[in-house]
Structures are given as C-alpha cells and as structure tokens.
Amino acid sequence: MEVPHIITEPEVEPVPDREPGFWKRQFAAEATRSQIVFDVLYGIVGPALCFVFDPIVFRSGFGEAPLLPDYQNFAYLFSAVQILLLSFWLLSGPGSQIRNQLMGGVLLAGGLFCLIIGFVLLPFSLIGLMFGIGVFGFTPFLTALVYLRNAVRAFVAGNREATNLERVSVALAGSLLVAGLPLLLSLQIHRVVSGSVTEILQGDSSHAIFAAHRLVPLRFFAGAELDRIVHAYQSEPHEQRKELLKNCYREITGENIESRAVIVND
C-alpha cells in the first residue's frame, strides 16, 4: 500500500520588530532615563543659565542694546513658571485626568514660546557661529523639544474617553492661564517701574531717593526704563540734579551711570 506524500509548508521565520525611529522614540509615552536627564539639562538648567548669562536678548551685553528689552518681564516670569511646572511634572508624573490635560496645555505653550524665541534668534545664532558662540542660540530649539514631548505625554495620559472638545478646552485653559498670569504681572511691574522712574526724574530729592529704594527689588525687571534716567542725566544742565540722578541710578543698579551712558550712546 502506497503511503500518501504529505506536503508541509516551509517554516517562515518571524520578522523581527523594527526599532522605532528617532522622532517616534522622542515622543514615546514612556520616558527613558537618558530622556529625563536631557529634559532636566535643557528644560530646566539650560534656560536658567541662558537668562543668567544673557548677553544680548533681554539684557545689554557686548556694549550693545538688547534685542527684546520690552519683553523682558514677561519672558522672565513666563519661563520661571514653565520651569517650575516642568520640574513638578517630571517629579510627579501623570495624575488625575484633568491635571494631565492642563499640564499638556501648559507645556505646549512653553514649547511654542521656545520655538518663537529660537526662530527670532536664528539669524544672530548663524552669524555667531563664526565666533564660536552662536551655538548657544540654538538652545531654545532643544528646550522646545523638551516641552513639546512632555506635553504630548501629558495629553496621552489624559482621559481617553473625553471628547475632543473637552480635551481642547482644558488644554486651552491651561495655556491661557500659564501665559495670562505672567502677562498681567509683567504689566503691573512695568507700571510700578515706570511710575517710580518718572518720580525720580520729576520729583524732588526726597521723593527721588524714596522711589530709587522702591526700585531696588525690581531692578532685574526695570530693563529699558532705567535708560530714561541715563538720558536725563546726560541732558541735565544742573550739577546738583545731575548728581542726584547719578546717586539714584547707583542705588538701584549698583553701577556707574556714566558707564551705562557709553553703552547707550553707541
């Protein structure tokens, strides 16, 4: 009796899973240890150092006027809030559904802000590459990556059953809140600083000295307003009044007004 020949299908080797691409790894739901280190360096430490050693963007340096002095107060306050909230997110991780969506909106606003700053500085960064310092101008793009990917992770950790309208509404509320509060506070600081400088320029010696003392805690937010004192000092014909302006400026900044005048006139 002939035994039937059984045809067996050839074994198919399993196709190994492809390793996720670079960008997919950056925005994966779970953060790796190296990503967390990167987030701390370029989302917290890097921005803080950029503000401290800022030579040209919001504060004057290299003997030149700053590029964006009118936005100094908002940028400082907004960035400080963003750094604090990113630190909280990295330490605590996902929480309640509404908190995740709020954090997503907050971090998204931070990422977009960093992208705007990066593109504003891009021409100066490219020029600065010739002098070996322009590379620091690309830091906002790395910071933007940190905030955007953590925003994505916060959104992914949100309520999957919520409607798109609910997700967008909560995220938008977080973005408006984190941008609106620094904006309102910066406007209030500007009002106080501007009023105090006007009092120094127009008031008698006692009021001017009192206004100078009031400005000492706000000297890092005074920005271009203090240059009004410099201009008034240069055009003041009376030596007694000129000395008063010089003393007030030194009281506020701890610097010599004549050194600042050289920079302002360049």
pTM, entire model: 0.76
Under the banding of pLDDT at 50, 70 and 90, the label for residue 134 is low
Buried b / exposed e along 147-172 (16+ C-beta atoms within 10 A) = bbbbbbbbbebbeeeeeeeebeebbe
Give 81-107 pLDDT, tens digit per residue. Answer: 999 999 999 998 888 888 888 999 999
Q: Looking at the DSSP assignment, which residues form a beta bridge with residue 89?
A: none
Name the least confident of 55-64, 105-114, 144-153: 55-64
